[in-house]
Structure 1
Amino acid sequence: MTDETPRSDDEIKRAVVDRTREVRVADGDPVGEQLLEDVSVEDGVVTFTVVFDRLDRRLSERLSDQLRGAGLATEGIDHVRIEAADAEAPESGLPVTGVDSLIAIGSAKGGVGKTTITAALARALDASGLEVAVFDANVYAPDVPDLLNAEGPVRNTPSGRPQPVDADGIEVVSLDLIAEDGPVAWRGAMVHDVLKDLLGDATWDDRDVLLVDLPPGIGDAVYTIVQQAPLDGALLVSTPTDAGVRATERTGALFTANDVETIGVVPNMTGTGTEPSPYDGDGRELEDAINEDAAASIDPVPFDPALRTPTACSFAEDGSPGERAIADLGETVASFVAGRGGSRAPEAAIDLRGLPPATCRRQAVTELAAADGDVSLLCRHDPEELIDSTESALTADGNRLERSDVTDLGQEGWLLELETESLARSASPA
C-alpha cells in the first residue's frame, strides 16, 4: 500500500538539497562550493539564498537556472524563489545587512572613555527592548569584548561569512575574538579589507541598531567607516578638557564632511557625580564648542566607577549617577533610531536586489504568475528597465501589465508594485 501522507517542509527541503548536489558549478556543487547561504521551504515554495558575489555574471545566471530546475524537479515544490545573500546591502563601499540603523561612536582623542560609553550604551539599549549589536572597529586595541564579556571565537557560516558572538543578547564582532597572533601593524588596504570582512560581511541577525566603536584618531579605520559604511548617525565623546574638545572637533568635522548626522556630543567623566572627576567642568558647554548643530543635547555622564563593568549595571532609575546618565543617553539614541523609521519596504515584498540581470527579470515574471497577477518587488537600478522587460515577457505569454507603481526607497532601492491581467480575460464581453 502506498504511503500518501504529505511530506513535511523539512523532508522536502532535504530532497531539494539532494537535488542541488547534482548541479555542477565551478569544481563541485553549490553546497560543497558554499554558494548557498540558505535553503528554505514553506508551503511548496523553495527559496535559495545564493552568494552571487563569488561568481561572474555568466556563472551566476547559469547557477540560477540550474537551481530553478532542481527545485521544480523536486516533488512538493510548486515555485522557486532565488534571492541574493547580500540583497539588503545598501549601495556603499562597505555595505552592511541585517541592521536597521548604524551608529558610529568616535573621538579623535584616546582615553575619553569612548569604548566604555559604547559598551554601556549597548547594554542600556538592550535593556530597553532593542535588538543591539556592537562592532569593535579598533583594530589596534580592541577592548569591547572585555567590557561586554564576549567570548570567541567568531565562527563562519557555510558560505564563509563571520557569525557574530552572542554576549547576553548583544551581538559582537571584534578582531580580538578572531586574532590569535598578537598585535599586527595594520595599514591602508589591510584595514579596509579587515573591516569589510568583519563589518560588511558579518551575518548580523535583524538588529535594530549596530553601534560601531571607532578607534581614536583619524586614521585608516575611521576614514574607511565614515566614508564608506552606511552610517545613519554618530555620537561624539569628549572629556571636559581643551585637548579633548580640539580632538573631538576634528572627528565631528569628518562626520559633517561626509554627511553623517551628529546625534549629540557626550560629555564624559565630568565632575557632576558623587565621585571626584579627574577633569574640570560639568561638560555642558561641550556641545557648543564641538558641534552646535547636533540633533540632540545630551546630559553629561559623570565620572562613575560603576560604568567600568557595564554588564553589572542596571541602567534603572535607582541606579548610580553614571547608570542613570547612560539610560538617558539610550533614550536619546532610541528616539533617533525610531525617527529613522527602519525599513520602508513592505515585509511581503519579493526581494530581487542583488540578482544577476536575467535572473532578476525571470524572477519578476514568475512571481507575478505565482501571485496571480499582483505583487510587490524590491530592486536596484533602473526600475523602468525591469518594468519594460517584464511587460514584454507578459505580452508574449498572453498577459498585460495593468498597473506599475514605483517608489524610491533611497538606499534600500526601489519598490515596484505590479498588477497584471490576462489579455483573453480583458477581451471577454462583460
Structure 2
Amino acid sequence: MSTVASPTESAVRSALSKVMDPEIGKPITDLGMVKSVAVADNGSVDVGIYLTTAGCPMKTKISESVENAVADVPGVGTVRVELDVMNDEQRTELRKSLRGDRAEPEIPFAKPGNLTRVYAIASGKGGVGKSSVTVNLAAALAARGLSVGVLDADIYGHSIPRMLGSDAKPTQVESMIMPPQNHGVKFISIGQFTDGNTPVTWRGPMLHRALQQFLADVYWGDLDVLLLDLPPGTGDVAISIAQLIPGAEILVVTTPQQAAAEVAERAGAIALQTRQKILGVVENMSWMDLPDGTRMEPFGSGGGQLVADRLTRAVGATVELLGQVPLEQDLREGGDAGTPVVLSGPETGSGAALLKIADKLAVRRRGLAGMNLGIDTTRHQ
C-alpha cells in the first residue's frame, strides 16, 4: 500500500507562487502578501495572507484561490486561510515594488519606448454610440487574450461602469489606485468616485487634473491596449489627452448622417493641430435589417466613408473606414445589461461587425500611416 509523503513548506510556497492577485495581476508571493505557512504532521496547512487594505473587495476570491492552490499539493489535508492586513510600511514597500520610489507618479503611456497602444475614441457630437463602440472593442480585444484597459474620459457623461456591468469601486494602496475589472477589462471612471448619479460640474483645469490622476495614479499594469472614451467634440479633454499622451491614436465614430459626418470630421481633424495619428473611422447605426429581409437606412448612408475620405485628404495619408455597425436591439440591450454584444451575441450583425473591427486593431503594426509628421514639403532653392 502506497502512502503520500507529507507536504513540505517549500511545496506549499511553490503552489502559492501561482496565485495571482486579481487586481495587480502578479503572484502574491512577489507582492509580499504571504504572511506565513505552517504545515502540520497530519498534512493540514495553515496559510496567513496579507490583504492590501481591510476593505479589499477581492478578499474572498484571494482566499478561495489560495485554498484551492494549496489543496492541490500532494499530501495536503485540511487547508485553513487566515487573512490579515498590511501595515503602512508594507504598503509603502508594495507601492515601491510596483511603481518605483518616485516622489511624483509618472504617466507610463507617455514614456519613450512604452509599447501600450492608446486609442482615443472620439466623436464630433453625442449620441453616435461612441461608448458602445469603446466597450465592445475592449471586450473583444480582451477575449483575444490581450491585456486591455478603458479610461472613461467622458467626465460629464460617464457610462463605462454600467456598460461593463460592474459597480465595483477601485482599491487604493497609499496614492496608488487599483482599477476593478470585468469581462477581462480593467476600467476607471469618475462614476466610481461620485455618489449615485450626482453630476460632475468641473471646469477645464479640474478635468485635466482628473485625467492626469487616472493615467498616473492608477496602476494599470502592463497593458497591450488602453482605450480612452472621450467626450463629444474638441474641447478641454481632447486637448488634455493630446498633451498627456501625445502618442494616443484617434478613432472617430460617426453615424451615416451627413450632418453628423461633418461634425465628426472636425473631431478627427484635431489631429492636424495635435500631430496625433488617426487610427480610422467607425460608422455606427449604419442600417436596420427588417424582418422581411429588406434593409432600412434611418440615418442615411455614406457618412462614414465621407469622413474617412476627407480626413485622408487632410492628413495626406489613407484613413480607413474600419467598419460599419448596424443598428440593432442586441447592441443596446448589451450596453444596458453590462454584457457587450461581442460576448453575448457575437453572431448578430452588430456583434460580428465589431469583432471584425477589433480584429483589425489586434493585428495592427506600428507605422507612420495617417500621422502628421510636420514636415515642410516646400522646395527651397
TM-score (ref. length: structure 1): 0.57
Equivalence map 1:243-392=2 (5 Å): 243-271=259-287, 273-274=289-290, 276-283=296-303, 284-292=305-313, 293-308=317-332, 309=334, 311=339, 313-314=341-342, 319-336=347-364, 339-340=365-366
Equivalence map 1:14-33=2 (5 Å): 31-32=88-89
1:52 and 2:102 aligned: yes
Distance 1:86 1:11, change over 3 A: closer
Map of 1:174 onto structure 2: 189
- State how far apart, in whole Å, the 2-side matches of 1:256 and 1:12 are: 44
Amino acid at match of 2:298: P
Shift in Å at residue 281 of structure 1?
1.0
Contact 1:276 1:303 (C-alpha < 8 Å) held by counterparts? no
Equivalence map 1:104-253=2 (5 Å): 104-156=120-172, 158-180=173-195, 182-253=198-269
Contact 1:107 1:236 (C-alpha < 8 Å) held by counterparts? yes
Shift in Å at residue 286 of structure 1?
3.4
- State how far apart, in whole Å, the 2-side matches of 1:248 and 1:312 are: 24
Map of 1:425 onto structure 2: none
Shift in Å at residue 315 of structure 1?
5.9
Distance 1:315 1:167, change over 3 A: closer
| Gap regions ≥5 residues in structure 1 | 16-29, 40-46, 55-84, 342-430
Map of 2:75 onto structure 1: none
Flag the structure with larger Rg: 1
Amino acid at match of 2:220: W
- State how far apart, in whole Å, the 2-side matches of 1:14 and 1:328 are: 41
Contact 2:121 2:227 (C-alpha < 8 Å) held by counterparts? yes
Contact 1:103 1:232 (C-alpha < 8 Å) held by counterparts? yes
| Residue-pair matches, total | 280
Shift in Å at residue 205 of structure 1?
2.2
Shift in Å at residue 11 of structure 1?
11
Shift in Å at residue 148 of structure 1?
0.9
Shift in Å at residue 223 of structure 1?
1.2
**Deviation string for 1:215-247 (max 9, x for gaps)?**
012221121012322434121001112321221
Shift in Å at residue 51 of structure 1?
3.5
Q: What secondary structure is seen at the aligned counterpart in 2 of 1:112?
A: coil
Map of 2:93 onto structure 1: 36
- State how far apart, in whole Å, the 2-side matches of 1:126 and 1:11 are: 25
Shift in Å at residue 290 of structure 1?
4.2
Percent of aligned pairs sharing the same letter: 28
Shift in Å at residue 150 of structure 1?
2.2
Q: What secondary structure is seen at the aligned counterpart in 2 of 1:109?
A: coil
Identify the range of structure 1 (227-236 vs 147-156) with the bigger mean alpha-carbon deviation.
Answer: 227-236
**Deviation string for 1:54-104 (max 9, x for gaps)?**
5xxxxxxxxxxxxxxxxxxxxxxxxxxxxxx75955349xxx98x711110
- State how far apart, in whole Å, the 2-side matches of 1:12 and 1:313 are: 36
Shift in Å at residue 200 of structure 1?
2.6
Contact 1:35 1:52 (C-alpha < 8 Å) held by counterparts? no
Shift in Å at residue 48 of structure 1?
8.3
- State how far apart, in whole Å, the 2-side matches of 1:216 and 1:324 are: 26
- State how far apart, in whole Å, the 1-side matches of 2:263 and 2:31 are: 59
Shift in Å at residue 135 of structure 1?
0.7
- State how far apart, in whole Å, the 2-side matches of 1:256 and 1:314 are: 33
- State how far apart, in whole Å, the 1-side matches of 2:33 and 2:352 are: 51
| Gap regions ≥5 residues in structure 2 | 1-8, 15-28, 35-86, 368-381
- State how far apart, in whole Å, the 2-side matches of 1:12 and 1:266 are: 41
CA RMSD of aligned residues (A): 3.5
Contact 1:263 1:294 (C-alpha < 8 Å) held by counterparts? no
Contact 1:135 1:174 (C-alpha < 8 Å) held by counterparts? yes
Shift in Å at residue 296 of structure 1?
3.1
Contact 2:256 2:300 (C-alpha < 8 Å) held by counterparts? yes
Contact 2:106 2:216 (C-alpha < 8 Å) held by counterparts? no
Contact 2:257 2:302 (C-alpha < 8 Å) held by counterparts? no
**Deviation string for 1:118-161 (max 9, x for gaps)?**
111112112222221111001101011111112221221x2312
TM-score (ref. length: structure 2): 0.64
Contact 1:134 1:171 (C-alpha < 8 Å) held by counterparts? yes
